[in-house]
Structure 1
């Protein structure tokens, strides 16, 4: 594989790219701004100077909240130029969810952009004593800030271009660049710490395998708040000078017209995305001949889906990959892999990453045997933010990350994901933690208990079913509970159904019997 230039950090990478290829377009909003590398570098520096004027110091956390846009890209690179750490918040978050992560990471500055359905008013947030500044990122957003925070024009001293350059060049490869939220089984999301060297190496190698280059046009559908959208989308495009098209809200019909009109070459997403593409192809006369590579991240991709994409769309290849927030990129299928390998496995470990499968006693199992997937190498996170005990539970003394996923390695070293040890389920490509949905449901006020299980769903892959027990004297209405859930949690976390029960089934040790709930 081609070796990556010796950049070390995201700010140095951006400067080198902008110096060598100033006119290459790296961001092209569908109907909005187009940014060259030179313009991105200039705007990022402007954002960094504004943050420095607000007192943002190296290592400080800055939260980003909004849908994918050109402004998101310039603000992300501005945060890195300021030596700060980005804390992305899902655009689908409601106030409670955003506040949890802002408070947890101690972010004093929030940059807020547009929400999925409407401009996001920052006053959805409950009061947060530590949050000093809310900046609107130039998206069409109501220029309002919650009480107790000061508008950004509050007499901050301007910062010179030279001072900002000095700050950007002082960033070191081992400095944190992002704290990504991940749904754990314990309810509150954890913050995964990733540094500059990990992101650069992981997504340079990812891009090499994908063959992403300066001739590609790549719509980034995965949210920038998600590792796949931020690293395999936003960062990868700047690393390889590909043109990213940020997609704020996914709609299959408009995606097809985008592919035809913008001659899109690379498409990435869950299997549901590609099923929708084929459905649209069957209905309309779209020209999708420009598409050359599709990247899917899923435990299993139906072989028929790949065959149809290769035949109908004329794809050069379909790639399946496995990664997790805590472990960056783990494995990918390669050029020349037969369809069976792409359909049934997530390929072989990427360079610099080791994978082994162990039984419940931690002993390595033979090829073809099931066990927990362990990963070691440069891609393993630097830990969970401010939670050393929980870090020690998943990264052992030998440096192995215990993924909680169950898999099988075949004789050729291909990794198949067969199950999730944890209870997480996946809705439209988003990990959902039952414990987190349960704790959010209990905040509604009329419930004594809540239990959520994931079940297969023909549309979203999996869906959550909630079973709840009311508090004494309360008589909650399932429809009203669903409406409350829709108003107070990200859409992908909202259960498909809520069933009110007199009591939850328990197993002999007194725990809620989720197997019994699934059997219902």
Structure 2
């Protein structure tokens, strides 16, 4: 029923099915694009551009170093921990060409978070920005990582600019804390060691693992979603078919402010843009509106991928509003719900509507999107080709079209499962390939889908999933804390922000400042609470589980009164 429902629903020109086996592996896509668009720009960052042919050459040098100067073999995991820099696609495609499995790592992670991800994935190598090498120094002895590459922000820039940028970061802004990693090699040294060396191109099968992308899934435990070669290839072809059907191959210029270590940006800029021969302008720090505006003002950009928080920030920045948007034809939103007022404001400023989509790390990530030529504000669009949605009730029974229930997804982009967690996989993925999203919504008769509620306890901060379980586990380990709970509260800038409730142990006098510092020291920035409230007790179920819903309802009621 569901698999065939959309066959006649797509606008003219959009296929209902794609061939996920058009390429056997990502290496084939990469080589195809680098040959076809050899002289075209592939990535730009801090004013310097790499062509597709240069990207192929440099990634080959990185691959050759991996193969000839380390003991890594195909199937080993390599963690990439960098913001948006030219070094990222070089290391990414070099590792892929050597047959390694990518483990994307947030460069803002704390030592605790790094240690969990590196150990869970079994990573044996790490490419890390120097700014967080001091954390790597703490963590590496507790992991299986043997090979470490350290890069600085300006490493891929021309000689004089490289030294100027790196010196400014290290000595003027003092953004690189001291570290001691004698076994580490610099990124430039690694490329030098691989220069002129032959690469034995890996040739994984379509169902071989390509990436472990970490997510909270539908619970708070950070798990690696196993994304295969076929998953990622299918999703890039699906996105191209539905979301970018009006693109001119080899001519699009896409602004890339979202971090490539996040699956939404990764698939958009490293997979989809690759297939389309597009030029991605990488923004290292999108929070700096002045630098970002200056960077993108130099390009007649045709596409912009962002999320609600970023759209708010830019629309409120006068120099951005004065840019030339005459070439902008596609703005895509994902990662967090798009507010209608912001969508209207963006279109007013740029003249370009925002097309909202929907996805999960577990779906590589794009599962639905508004077609380029026919979008509905407030909906997440239609399933990308070769994908079906359905809704189920609380007992797991299928519901008719139009009825509200938990959304489930089936398609070639759905993950293989969670890395080494068969029980967690079985909770969300059934034997027929349907993935439970935990999101509540309904399917309209015209094929468009709307979300009406999110996963019960998940907090969505600027497009990042934050799970109360993790926050509460950290806070509960703080001396003086008896009970605690974390919830999301509305926030104009980030969609939601975090509030924690604390019951002190008898005799404890811990303060709000101490709680915030403890969370700051143990959690990435977007996971840190903004508000702390002390209580004598928390609302509990009969079995002693904290009723977060009750806390949320109380908080919303208070905010409405004020």
TM-score (structure 2 length as normaliser): 0.84
Which residue of the other structure, out of 149, 159, 182, is the alignment partner of 1:135?
149
Which residue of the other structure, out of 238, 258, 278, is the alignment partner of 1:242?
278
1:491 counterpart = 2:528: no
Deviations 1:16-64 (A, max 9, x none): 2222321111011132x31111111111111112222211111111011
Q: Would the aligned equivalents of 2:289 and 2:317 in 1 still touch at CA under 8 Å?
A: yes
**Deviation (angstroms), 1:235:** 2.1
Secondary structure of 1:331's counterpart equals strand
1:386 counterpart = 2:386: no
Alignment of 1:279-294 (within 5 A): 279-281=316-318, 285-294=322-331
Alignment of 1:133-282 (within 5 A): 133-139=147-153, 140=166, 150-152=183-185, 164-165=199-200, 167-168=201-202, 170-184=203-217, 186-208=219-241, 209-210=243-244, 211-212=246-247, 213-250=249-286, 251-281=288-318
1:415 counterpart = 2:449: yes
Which residue is equivalent to 2:52? 37
Distance 1:76 1:442 in 2: 37
Secondary structure of 2:142's counterpart equals coil
Which residue of the other structure, out of 313, 327, 333, is the alignment partner of 2:370?
333
**Deviation (angstroms), 1:394:** 0.6
**Deviation (angstroms), 1:278:** 2.4
Secondary structure of 1:378's counterpart equals coil
Q: More displaced, 292-301 or 479-488?
A: 292-301
Q: Would the aligned equivalents of 1:482 and 1:494 in 2 still touch at CA under 8 Å?
A: yes
Alignment of 1:307-456 (within 5 A): 307-315=344-352, 317-328=353-364, 329-338=366-375, 341=376, 343-456=377-490
Secondary structure of 1:391's counterpart equals helix
1:476 counterpart = 2:510: yes
For structure 2, the residue ranges without an aligned partner over 5 or more in a row are 1-13, 154-165, 171-175, 556-562
**Deviation (angstroms), 1:10:** 1.5
TM-score (structure 1 length as normaliser): 0.90
Secondary structure of 2:236's counterpart equals helix
Q: Are residues 410 and 517 of structure 1, via their aligned partners in 2, closer, same or farther at CA, if it must alter by over 3 Å?
A: same
Which residue of the other structure, out of 97, 106, 110, is the alignment partner of 1:90?
106
Distance 1:220 1:283 in 2: 15
Distance 1:496 1:291 in 2: 36
**Deviation (angstroms), 1:466:** 0.4
Q: Would the aligned equivalents of 1:127 and 1:146 in 2 still touch at CA under 8 Å?
A: no
Which residue is equivalent to 1:77? 93
Q: Would the aligned equivalents of 1:408 and 1:415 in 2 still touch at CA under 8 Å?
A: yes
Q: Are residues 58 and 422 of structure 1, via their aligned partners in 2, closer, same or farther at CA, if it must alter by over 3 Å?
A: farther
Distance 1:185 1:472 in 2: 34
Higher relative contact order (CA 8 A, sep 6+): 2
Q: More displaced, 242-251 or 349-358?
A: 242-251
**Deviation (angstroms), 1:84:** 0.6
